[in-house]
Amino acid sequence: MSLDKIRLSETVTSALYKDVLVNAKTIPNNVSYHYKFLGNNQKKIIFVVQSRDAVFIPDKHLSFITKMLEACKMNIGDIAIVNHASGAVIIQQLKQELQPRILVLFGLESIDIKLPFNFPQFKTQAYDGCTYLCVPSLNELDTETNESKVLKSKLWVCLRQIFEI
């Protein structure tokens, strides 16, 4: 049996990553949230990913994001990870529910979330009280190729600008 095919329950995963992983937000019965997310959204920073292989994000990519956040002096509790593959993200609904001040699209374009304009990857865009950034997918960023190193460098430049590091 390959170790790549092992699936861990939410309880086991939480126990293994108790110092870095925050449980997915549970939604009180009296609040009608549409989007489920991983993290606590303490700083109103939303990462929208496209992952068909996981509820939120595969462990490999979660590790990448955790390291990236640590470099920015943050942790998973500061953000919310929303999986576009689990249910289409519509910006107006997302703004009402999670009130993002920064939104990073991994492998998606602005028109995919129904923004009224499009902008290139690695260019921050301020609009309607939120800063947006489109970057390549986590599959493209989270590899050990020369191309991914260039992409990670471009991402780091943008993150330093957005988070004033």
Which pLDDT score is estimated for 15?
Answer: 57
pLDDT in tens, 148-158: 999 999 999 99
Q: How much is the pTM?
A: 0.78
Dihedral in degrees, nearest 10, Cα atoms 20, 149, 81, 35: -160
Amino acid at 11: T
The answer regarding whether domain 3-162 maps to CATH 3.40.50 reads: no
Closest listed residue to residue 110, CA positions, set 93, 125, 100, 129: 125
Which pLDDT score is estimated for 54?
Answer: 83
pLDDT in tens, 7-21: 655 555 555 555 554
pLDDT in tens, 92-141: 999 999 999 999 999 999 999 999 999 999 999 999 999 999 999 999 99
CA 90/CA 88 separation, integer angstroms: 6
